Protein backbone atom coordinates (compact mmCIF):
# COMPACT_ATOMS: atom_id res chain seq x y z
CA UNK A 1 0.00 0.00 0.00
CA UNK A 2 2.86 2.34 0.87
CA UNK A 3 4.45 1.59 -2.49
CA UNK A 4 1.22 2.43 -4.28
CA UNK A 5 0.93 5.70 -2.39
CA UNK A 6 4.55 6.58 -3.09
CA UNK A 7 4.12 5.80 -6.76
CA UNK A 8 0.90 7.82 -6.90
CA UNK A 9 2.68 10.77 -5.27
CA UNK A 10 5.52 10.53 -7.79
CA UNK A 11 3.11 10.43 -10.71
CA UNK A 12 1.26 13.37 -9.21
CA UNK A 13 4.45 15.40 -8.90
CA UNK A 14 5.41 14.58 -12.49
CA UNK A 15 1.98 15.47 -13.82
CA UNK A 16 2.02 18.72 -11.87
CA UNK A 17 5.40 19.68 -13.23
CA UNK A 18 4.25 18.85 -16.76
CA UNK A 19 1.20 20.98 -16.23
CA UNK A 20 3.45 23.95 -15.42
CA UNK A 21 4.84 23.90 -19.00
CA UNK A 22 2.75 26.39 -20.90
CA UNK A 23 1.63 25.45 -24.37
CA UNK A 24 1.86 27.94 -27.23
CA UNK A 25 0.67 27.89 -30.82
CA UNK A 26 2.99 29.41 -33.38
CA UNK A 27 1.92 32.65 -35.02
CA UNK A 28 2.55 31.92 -38.72
CA UNK A 29 2.59 35.61 -39.51
CA UNK A 30 5.65 36.10 -37.34
CA UNK A 31 7.40 32.76 -37.63
CA UNK A 32 9.79 32.39 -40.53
CA UNK A 33 12.66 30.01 -41.09
CA UNK A 34 15.25 32.06 -42.97
CA UNK A 35 18.37 30.81 -44.69
CA UNK A 36 21.45 32.10 -46.43
CA UNK A 37 23.73 30.33 -48.84
CA UNK A 38 26.62 31.19 -51.12
CA UNK A 39 25.45 31.95 -54.65
CA UNK A 40 27.86 31.01 -57.45
CA UNK A 41 30.78 32.23 -55.34
CA UNK A 42 29.72 35.84 -55.84
CA UNK A 43 27.41 36.73 -53.00
CA UNK A 44 25.27 35.43 -50.17
CA UNK A 45 21.70 34.72 -51.13
CA UNK A 46 18.99 35.13 -48.50
CA UNK A 47 15.64 33.40 -48.51
CA UNK A 48 12.82 32.35 -46.26
CA UNK A 49 9.91 29.96 -46.01
CA UNK A 50 6.61 31.79 -45.79
CA UNK A 51 4.27 29.14 -44.41
CA UNK A 52 4.79 27.54 -41.01
CA UNK A 53 2.78 25.87 -38.26
CA UNK A 54 3.71 24.40 -34.91
CA UNK A 55 3.72 24.40 -31.13
CA UNK A 56 5.96 25.51 -28.29
CA UNK A 57 6.09 24.19 -24.76
CA UNK A 58 7.89 26.62 -22.50
CA UNK A 59 8.59 26.79 -18.80
CA UNK A 60 11.64 28.98 -18.16
CA UNK A 61 11.44 28.57 -14.38
CA UNK A 62 11.81 24.83 -14.73
CA UNK A 63 14.33 25.27 -17.57
CA UNK A 64 12.14 23.23 -19.81
CA UNK A 65 10.99 23.86 -23.34
CA UNK A 66 10.29 22.28 -26.68
CA UNK A 67 9.49 23.41 -30.18
CA UNK A 68 7.96 21.64 -33.16
CA UNK A 69 7.65 23.45 -36.46
CA UNK A 70 6.29 22.24 -39.77
CA UNK A 71 7.33 24.22 -42.83
CA UNK A 72 5.67 24.19 -46.24
CA UNK A 73 8.67 23.56 -48.51
CA UNK A 74 6.89 25.11 -51.49
CA UNK A 75 6.63 28.42 -49.62
CA UNK A 76 10.33 29.13 -50.24
CA UNK A 77 10.88 32.72 -51.30
CA UNK A 78 14.12 34.41 -52.32
CA UNK A 79 12.45 37.38 -53.91
CA UNK A 80 13.09 36.01 -57.40
CA UNK A 81 10.26 33.91 -58.84
CA UNK A 82 12.35 32.06 -61.43
CA UNK A 83 14.94 31.04 -58.85
CA UNK A 84 12.19 29.99 -56.42
CA UNK A 85 10.85 27.66 -59.11
CA UNK A 86 14.32 26.12 -59.39
CA UNK A 87 14.53 25.77 -55.61
CA UNK A 88 11.20 23.90 -55.61
CA UNK A 89 12.33 21.54 -58.38
CA UNK A 90 14.18 18.20 -58.04
CA UNK A 91 17.44 20.16 -58.23
CA UNK A 92 17.04 21.31 -54.64
CA UNK A 93 14.02 20.97 -52.33
CA UNK A 94 11.98 18.64 -54.53
CA UNK A 95 8.78 19.94 -52.96
CA UNK A 96 6.39 17.68 -54.88
CA UNK A 97 7.97 14.57 -53.43
CA UNK A 98 8.86 16.13 -50.08
CA UNK A 99 6.29 18.83 -49.34
CA UNK A 100 7.13 19.27 -45.65
CA UNK A 101 10.21 20.29 -43.73
CA UNK A 102 10.01 19.70 -39.99
CA UNK A 103 12.05 20.61 -36.95
CA UNK A 104 11.34 18.91 -33.63
CA UNK A 105 13.47 19.77 -30.64
CA UNK A 106 14.95 17.00 -28.54
CA UNK A 107 16.53 19.20 -25.85
CA UNK A 108 16.73 22.86 -24.89
CA UNK A 109 19.67 24.20 -22.86
CA UNK A 110 19.18 27.08 -20.45
CA UNK A 111 21.34 29.63 -18.69
CA UNK A 112 19.25 30.48 -15.64
CA UNK A 113 15.79 31.14 -17.13
CA UNK A 114 17.03 31.99 -20.63
CA UNK A 115 17.26 29.35 -23.37
CA UNK A 116 20.72 29.23 -24.95
CA UNK A 117 20.48 26.47 -27.52
CA UNK A 118 17.95 24.12 -29.05
CA UNK A 119 18.96 20.73 -30.33
CA UNK A 120 16.49 18.88 -32.50
CA UNK A 121 15.80 16.73 -35.51
CA UNK A 122 15.56 18.53 -38.83
CA UNK A 123 13.79 16.56 -41.55
CA UNK A 124 14.50 17.84 -45.03
CA UNK A 125 13.82 15.86 -48.21
CA UNK A 126 12.76 12.98 -45.98
CA UNK A 127 16.20 12.80 -44.33
CA UNK A 128 16.38 13.45 -40.58
CA UNK A 129 19.55 14.81 -39.00
CA UNK A 130 20.28 16.40 -35.61
CA UNK A 131 20.80 20.15 -35.70
CA UNK A 132 21.74 22.54 -32.90
CA UNK A 133 20.48 26.10 -33.04
CA UNK A 134 22.00 28.84 -30.88
CA UNK A 135 19.33 31.01 -29.30
CA UNK A 136 20.27 34.66 -29.81
CA UNK A 137 17.26 36.13 -28.07
CA UNK A 138 14.11 35.01 -26.27
CA UNK A 139 11.34 36.82 -24.46
CA UNK A 140 7.83 36.37 -23.16
CA UNK A 141 5.17 38.84 -22.15
CA UNK A 142 1.87 40.44 -22.99
CA UNK A 143 1.44 41.25 -26.66
CA UNK A 144 0.98 45.03 -26.91
CA UNK A 145 -1.82 44.81 -29.47
CA UNK A 146 -4.02 41.84 -28.65
CA UNK A 147 -3.02 41.57 -24.97
CA UNK A 148 -2.48 37.82 -25.27
CA UNK A 149 0.50 36.20 -23.59
CA UNK A 150 3.17 35.61 -26.22
CA UNK A 151 6.66 34.17 -26.38
CA UNK A 152 9.25 34.47 -29.09
CA UNK A 153 12.82 33.64 -29.85
CA UNK A 154 15.52 33.94 -32.50
CA UNK A 155 17.92 31.10 -33.19
CA UNK A 156 20.66 30.41 -35.67
CA UNK A 157 22.38 27.23 -36.82
CA UNK A 158 24.13 25.68 -39.77
CA UNK A 159 23.69 22.60 -41.92
CA UNK A 160 25.31 21.04 -44.96
CA UNK A 161 22.63 20.51 -47.57
CA UNK A 162 24.49 17.49 -48.92
CA UNK A 163 23.80 15.77 -45.58
CA UNK A 164 20.14 15.81 -46.60
CA UNK A 165 20.77 14.51 -50.10
CA UNK A 166 20.50 17.94 -51.76
CA UNK A 167 23.75 17.71 -53.64
CA UNK A 168 23.06 19.32 -57.00
CA UNK A 169 25.38 22.16 -58.10
CA UNK A 170 27.83 21.85 -55.20
CA UNK A 171 30.08 23.84 -54.90
CA UNK A 172 28.74 26.29 -57.50
CA UNK A 173 25.85 26.86 -55.14
CA UNK A 174 27.16 26.44 -51.59
CA UNK A 175 26.88 23.30 -49.53
CA UNK A 176 26.98 25.15 -46.21
CA UNK A 177 23.73 26.86 -45.24
CA UNK A 178 22.95 29.07 -42.29
CA UNK A 179 19.47 28.71 -40.83
CA UNK A 180 17.95 31.60 -38.93
CA UNK A 181 14.71 30.94 -37.12
CA UNK A 182 12.39 33.75 -35.99
CA UNK A 183 9.50 32.42 -33.93
CA UNK A 184 6.55 33.98 -32.16
CA UNK A 185 3.77 32.07 -30.48
CA UNK A 186 0.63 32.81 -28.45
CA UNK A 187 -0.19 30.98 -25.26
CA UNK A 188 -3.02 28.51 -25.69
CA UNK A 189 -6.22 29.57 -23.88
CA UNK B 1 27.69 19.41 -60.74
CA UNK B 2 28.85 17.38 -57.78
CA UNK B 3 32.52 17.71 -57.01
CA UNK B 4 32.92 16.50 -53.45
CA UNK B 5 35.23 13.53 -53.11
CA UNK B 6 37.32 14.56 -56.11
CA UNK B 7 40.62 16.35 -56.35
CA UNK B 8 41.14 19.87 -57.70
CA UNK B 9 42.60 18.34 -60.84
CA UNK B 10 39.17 16.95 -61.59
CA UNK B 11 37.33 20.28 -61.25
CA UNK B 12 36.85 20.28 -65.00
CA UNK B 13 34.42 17.44 -64.50
CA UNK B 14 32.12 19.76 -62.58
CA UNK B 15 31.51 21.94 -65.65
CA UNK B 16 27.99 21.38 -67.05
CA UNK B 17 29.23 21.20 -70.65
CA UNK B 18 31.69 18.46 -69.69
CA UNK B 19 29.12 16.55 -67.63
CA UNK B 20 26.27 16.79 -70.15
CA UNK B 21 28.03 16.84 -73.51
CA UNK B 22 31.69 15.88 -73.70
CA UNK B 23 31.81 13.09 -71.10
CA UNK B 24 28.70 11.17 -72.22
CA UNK B 25 29.68 11.51 -75.88
CA UNK B 26 33.26 10.28 -75.37
CA UNK B 27 32.24 7.46 -73.01
CA UNK B 28 29.43 6.34 -75.31
CA UNK B 29 31.79 6.40 -78.28
CA UNK B 30 34.51 4.38 -76.56
CA UNK B 31 32.12 1.89 -74.98
CA UNK B 32 30.26 1.60 -78.28
CA UNK B 33 33.51 0.81 -80.08
CA UNK B 34 34.43 -1.78 -77.46
CA UNK B 35 30.94 -3.30 -77.55
CA UNK B 36 31.15 -3.51 -81.34
CA UNK B 37 33.97 -6.02 -81.00
CA UNK B 38 31.36 -8.39 -79.53
CA UNK B 39 28.98 -7.94 -82.43
CA UNK B 40 27.67 -5.26 -84.79
CA UNK B 41 24.43 -4.93 -82.84
CA UNK B 42 26.07 -4.13 -79.54
CA UNK B 43 27.52 -0.67 -80.11
CA UNK B 44 24.23 1.17 -79.28
CA UNK B 45 24.62 0.00 -75.67
CA UNK B 46 27.14 2.85 -75.50
CA UNK B 47 24.18 5.25 -75.17
CA UNK B 48 23.13 4.03 -71.75
CA UNK B 49 26.75 3.69 -70.57
CA UNK B 50 27.49 7.27 -71.61
CA UNK B 51 24.34 8.44 -69.86
CA UNK B 52 25.26 6.63 -66.65
CA UNK B 53 28.72 8.18 -66.53
CA UNK B 54 27.16 11.62 -67.00
CA UNK B 55 24.61 10.86 -64.28
CA UNK B 56 27.47 9.93 -61.95
CA UNK B 57 29.20 13.23 -62.68
CA UNK B 58 26.00 15.23 -62.22
CA UNK B 59 24.39 13.44 -59.28
CA UNK B 60 27.26 11.54 -57.69
CA UNK B 61 26.53 8.07 -56.42
CA UNK B 62 24.18 9.24 -53.71
CA UNK B 63 20.82 7.48 -53.69
CA UNK B 64 19.52 8.67 -50.33
CA UNK B 65 16.86 9.91 -50.27
CA UNK B 66 15.65 7.84 -53.20
CA UNK B 67 14.00 10.61 -55.19
CA UNK B 68 12.26 10.18 -58.53
CA UNK B 69 15.33 11.56 -60.30
CA UNK B 70 17.64 9.06 -58.60
CA UNK B 71 15.22 6.26 -59.49
CA UNK B 72 15.67 7.29 -63.14
CA UNK B 73 19.41 6.64 -62.84
CA UNK B 74 18.82 3.21 -61.32
CA UNK B 75 16.23 2.49 -64.00
CA UNK B 76 18.80 3.34 -66.67
CA UNK B 77 20.94 0.46 -65.41
CA UNK B 78 17.96 -1.89 -65.33
CA UNK B 79 16.76 -0.83 -68.79
CA UNK B 80 20.22 -1.42 -70.26
CA UNK B 81 20.35 -4.92 -68.81
CA UNK B 82 16.79 -5.81 -69.85
CA UNK B 83 17.48 -4.44 -73.33
CA UNK B 84 20.55 -6.65 -73.70
CA UNK B 85 18.56 -9.70 -72.53
CA UNK B 86 15.79 -8.96 -75.04
CA UNK B 87 18.34 -8.58 -77.84
CA UNK B 88 20.04 -11.81 -76.81
CA UNK B 89 16.70 -13.59 -76.87
CA UNK B 90 16.38 -12.88 -80.61
CA UNK B 91 12.98 -12.66 -82.28
CA UNK B 92 10.20 -12.35 -79.75
CA UNK B 93 6.48 -12.58 -80.18
CA UNK B 94 4.60 -9.75 -78.46
CA UNK B 95 7.78 -7.67 -78.46
CA UNK B 96 5.89 -4.37 -77.97
CA UNK B 97 4.16 -5.80 -74.91
CA UNK B 98 7.46 -7.12 -73.54
CA UNK B 99 8.93 -3.63 -73.86
CA UNK B 100 5.84 -1.82 -72.58
CA UNK B 101 5.62 -3.77 -69.32
CA UNK B 102 8.97 -2.62 -67.86
CA UNK B 103 8.31 0.87 -69.22
CA UNK B 104 5.03 1.14 -67.34
CA UNK B 105 6.63 -0.32 -64.22
CA UNK B 106 9.46 2.22 -64.41
CA UNK B 107 7.06 5.13 -64.87
CA UNK B 108 4.93 4.12 -61.89
CA UNK B 109 7.94 3.51 -59.63
CA UNK B 110 9.45 6.89 -60.51
CA UNK B 111 6.36 8.81 -59.40
CA UNK B 112 5.32 6.43 -56.60
CA UNK B 113 5.98 8.98 -53.82
CA UNK B 114 3.45 11.26 -55.48
CA UNK B 115 0.97 8.52 -56.44
CA UNK B 116 0.90 7.39 -52.80
CA UNK B 117 -0.69 10.73 -51.90
CA UNK B 118 -3.28 10.67 -54.67
CA UNK B 119 -6.43 8.63 -55.00
CA UNK B 120 -9.35 8.00 -57.31
CA UNK B 121 -9.36 9.75 -60.64
CA UNK B 122 -6.24 11.81 -59.82
CA UNK B 123 -4.28 8.60 -59.26
CA UNK B 124 -5.61 7.08 -62.48
CA UNK B 125 -4.88 10.15 -64.59
CA UNK B 126 -1.34 10.53 -63.27
CA UNK B 127 -0.46 6.84 -63.38
CA UNK B 128 -2.14 6.37 -66.76
CA UNK B 129 -0.52 9.36 -68.45
CA UNK B 130 2.95 8.47 -67.12
CA UNK B 131 2.57 4.87 -68.27
CA UNK B 132 1.25 5.77 -71.71
CA UNK B 133 3.91 8.43 -72.32
CA UNK B 134 6.91 6.26 -71.40
CA UNK B 135 5.60 3.08 -73.03
CA UNK B 136 4.67 5.00 -76.20
CA UNK B 137 8.18 6.41 -76.63
CA UNK B 138 9.82 3.02 -76.07
CA UNK B 139 7.52 1.01 -78.31
CA UNK B 140 7.42 3.52 -81.18
CA UNK B 141 11.19 3.95 -81.08
CA UNK B 142 11.67 0.17 -81.03
CA UNK B 143 9.23 -0.53 -83.83
CA UNK B 144 11.39 1.50 -86.20
CA UNK B 145 14.65 -0.19 -85.15
CA UNK B 146 15.12 -2.00 -88.48
CA UNK B 147 16.32 1.35 -89.85
CA UNK B 148 19.20 2.12 -87.53
CA UNK B 149 20.08 5.67 -88.52
CA UNK B 150 16.54 7.11 -88.44
CA UNK B 151 15.89 5.39 -85.10
CA UNK B 152 19.06 6.76 -83.50
CA UNK B 153 18.36 10.22 -84.96
CA UNK B 154 14.91 10.13 -83.37
CA UNK B 155 16.59 9.19 -80.08
CA UNK B 156 18.97 12.14 -80.37
CA UNK B 157 16.16 14.58 -81.19
CA UNK B 158 13.92 13.25 -78.42
CA UNK B 159 16.68 13.63 -75.83
CA UNK B 160 17.56 17.15 -77.01
CA UNK B 161 13.92 18.18 -76.76
CA UNK B 162 13.57 16.59 -73.34
CA UNK B 163 16.71 18.30 -72.07
CA UNK B 164 15.66 21.70 -73.38
CA UNK B 165 12.09 21.53 -72.17
CA UNK B 166 13.03 20.42 -68.64
CA UNK B 167 15.77 23.04 -68.44
CA UNK B 168 13.25 25.74 -69.38
CA UNK B 169 10.83 24.38 -66.82
CA UNK B 170 13.02 25.08 -63.80
CA UNK B 171 15.06 21.91 -63.46
CA UNK B 172 18.65 22.22 -64.57
CA UNK B 173 19.26 18.73 -63.16
CA UNK B 174 16.70 17.06 -65.44
CA UNK B 175 17.87 19.29 -68.29
CA UNK B 176 21.47 18.20 -67.82
CA UNK B 177 20.45 14.55 -67.77
CA UNK B 178 18.40 15.02 -70.95
CA UNK B 179 21.28 16.65 -72.79
CA UNK B 180 23.64 13.94 -71.52
CA UNK B 181 21.35 11.33 -73.08
CA UNK B 182 21.37 13.31 -76.33
CA UNK B 183 25.18 13.48 -76.37
CA UNK B 184 25.48 9.74 -75.70
CA UNK B 185 22.96 9.03 -78.47
CA UNK B 186 25.03 11.29 -80.73
CA UNK B 187 28.02 9.00 -80.29
CA UNK B 188 25.89 6.00 -81.25
CA UNK B 189 24.72 7.93 -84.30
CA UNK B 190 28.32 8.60 -85.29
CA UNK B 191 29.08 4.88 -85.12
CA UNK B 192 25.97 4.11 -87.17
CA UNK B 193 27.08 6.61 -89.81
CA UNK B 194 30.63 5.23 -89.95
CA UNK B 195 29.62 1.57 -90.11
CA UNK B 196 26.89 0.72 -92.56
CA UNK B 197 25.99 -2.56 -90.91
CA UNK B 198 25.27 -1.12 -87.45
CA UNK B 199 21.99 -2.44 -86.12
CA UNK B 200 19.87 -1.15 -83.29
CA UNK B 201 17.96 -3.25 -80.81
CA UNK B 202 16.28 -3.07 -77.45
CA UNK B 203 19.63 -2.31 -75.78
CA UNK B 204 19.19 1.14 -77.38
CA UNK B 205 15.47 1.65 -77.79
CA UNK B 206 14.45 0.54 -74.29
CA UNK B 207 16.85 2.67 -72.24
CA UNK B 208 16.73 5.67 -74.58
CA UNK B 209 12.95 5.71 -74.95
CA UNK B 210 12.47 5.00 -71.27
CA UNK B 211 14.96 7.63 -70.08
CA UNK B 212 13.56 10.32 -72.35
CA UNK B 213 10.06 9.45 -71.18
CA UNK B 214 10.98 9.36 -67.50
CA UNK B 215 12.97 12.60 -67.62
CA UNK B 216 10.17 14.40 -69.46
CA UNK B 217 7.46 13.12 -67.16
CA UNK B 218 9.59 13.84 -64.09
CA UNK B 219 9.73 17.39 -65.38
CA UNK B 220 5.94 17.46 -65.58
CA UNK B 221 5.37 16.03 -62.10
CA UNK B 222 8.32 17.39 -60.12
CA UNK B 223 9.05 20.62 -61.98
CA UNK B 224 6.95 22.73 -64.35
CA UNK B 225 7.02 21.01 -67.74
CA UNK B 226 3.60 21.64 -69.30
CA UNK B 227 1.57 18.75 -70.70
CA UNK B 228 1.52 20.23 -74.20
CA UNK B 229 5.31 20.15 -74.32
CA UNK B 230 5.35 16.41 -73.73
CA UNK B 231 2.50 15.89 -76.18
CA UNK B 232 4.59 17.39 -78.96
CA UNK B 233 7.71 15.51 -77.88
CA UNK B 234 5.72 12.26 -78.14
CA UNK B 235 5.60 12.83 -81.90
CA UNK B 236 9.41 12.91 -82.22
CA UNK B 237 9.94 9.08 -82.44
CA UNK B 238 7.62 9.05 -85.46
CA UNK B 239 10.28 11.05 -87.32
CA UNK B 240 12.13 7.74 -87.74
CA UNK B 241 9.28 6.58 -90.00
CA UNK B 242 9.72 9.40 -92.50
CA UNK B 243 10.86 7.82 -95.76
CA UNK B 244 13.80 9.57 -97.38
CA UNK B 245 15.63 8.42 -100.54
CA UNK B 246 17.71 5.41 -99.52
CA UNK B 247 20.55 6.07 -101.96
CA UNK B 248 21.77 9.21 -100.27
CA UNK B 249 24.98 9.07 -98.19
CA UNK B 250 24.46 7.92 -94.60
CA UNK B 251 25.79 11.17 -93.21
CA UNK B 252 23.20 13.13 -95.22
CA UNK B 253 20.47 10.71 -94.19
CA UNK B 254 21.50 11.15 -90.55
CA UNK B 255 21.58 14.93 -90.87
CA UNK B 256 18.12 15.08 -92.48
CA UNK B 257 16.50 12.69 -90.00
CA UNK B 258 18.07 14.58 -87.10
CA UNK B 259 16.80 17.85 -88.54
CA UNK B 260 13.26 16.49 -88.82
CA UNK B 261 13.31 15.18 -85.24
CA UNK B 262 14.96 18.25 -83.81
CA UNK B 263 12.48 20.39 -85.74
CA UNK B 264 9.60 18.73 -83.90
CA UNK B 265 11.47 19.05 -80.59
CA UNK B 266 12.13 22.71 -81.34
CA UNK B 267 8.40 23.18 -81.86
CA UNK B 268 7.75 21.81 -78.37
CA UNK B 269 10.47 23.97 -76.86
CA UNK B 270 9.26 27.08 -78.69
CA UNK B 271 5.70 26.56 -77.51
CA UNK B 272 6.84 26.14 -73.90
CA UNK B 273 9.04 29.22 -74.21
CA UNK B 274 6.16 31.21 -75.64
CA UNK B 275 3.40 30.13 -73.25
CA UNK B 276 5.24 29.68 -69.97
CA UNK B 277 5.98 32.45 -67.55
CA UNK B 278 8.91 32.61 -65.12
CA UNK B 279 11.31 30.69 -67.32
CA UNK B 280 14.79 30.18 -65.97
CA UNK B 281 16.18 30.16 -62.46
CA UNK B 282 19.31 30.26 -60.36
pLDDT in tens, B14-53: 889 999 999 999 999 999 999 999 887 889 999 999 999 9
pLDDT at residue B278 greater than cutoff 70:
no
Q: Contacts of residue B223 in chain A, CB cutoff 8 Å?
A: 85, 89-90
Q: Do A170 and B59 touch (CB under 8 A)?
A: no
Cβ neighbours for B277, distance < 8 A, ≥ 6 positions apart = none
State ipTM.
0.86
Question: Could you tell me if B62 lies within 8 Å of chain A, comparing CB atoms?
Answer: yes
> Is residue B6 scored above 50 in pLDDT?
no
d(CA A157, nearest CA chain B) in Å: 22
Lowest mean pLDDT among A128-132, B21-25, B85-89: B85-89
Nearest Cα of chain B lies from the Cα of A49 at a distance, in angstroms, of 17
Q: Which of A5-14, A103-112, A148-157, B193-202 has the weakest average pLDDT? A: A5-14
Domains and CATH numbers, chain A: 21-187 (2.40.128.110)
Preferred mutation among A90, A100, A173 to probe B, highest tally of B CBs within 10 A: A90
Q: Which residue has the higher pLDDT, B279 or B17?
A: B17
Give pLDDT tens digits for B93-112.
899 999 999 999 999 999 99
Give percent of chain B with pLDDT exceeding 70.
95
B-chain residues near A91 (CB < 8 A):
171-173
Residue A85 to residue B221, Cβ atoms within 8 A: no
Q: What is the pLDDT of residue B276?
A: 82
Instruction: Name every chain B residue with its beta carbon within 8 A of the beta carbon of A87.
Output: 281
With a cut of 50, say whether residue A6 has pLDDT above it.
yes
Arithmetic mean of pLDDT over chain A: 90
Of A89, A126, A169, the CB nearest to B1: A169
Amino acid sequence: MRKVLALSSLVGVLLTSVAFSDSYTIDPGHTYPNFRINHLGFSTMYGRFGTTAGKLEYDPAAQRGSVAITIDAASVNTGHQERDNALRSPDFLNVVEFPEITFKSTSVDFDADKPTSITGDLTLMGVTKPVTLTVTGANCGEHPLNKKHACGFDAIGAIKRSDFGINYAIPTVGDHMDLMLEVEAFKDE
Amino acid sequence: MVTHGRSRGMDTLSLPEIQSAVAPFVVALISGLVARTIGRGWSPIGAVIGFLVAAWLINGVQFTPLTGTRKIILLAVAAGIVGVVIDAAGRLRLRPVILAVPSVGAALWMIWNVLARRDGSQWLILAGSASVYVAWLVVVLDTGRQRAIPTVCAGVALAIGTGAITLLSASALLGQLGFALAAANGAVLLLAVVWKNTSVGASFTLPVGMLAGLLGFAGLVFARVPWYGLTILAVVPLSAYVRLPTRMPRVVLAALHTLIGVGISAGAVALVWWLMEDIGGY
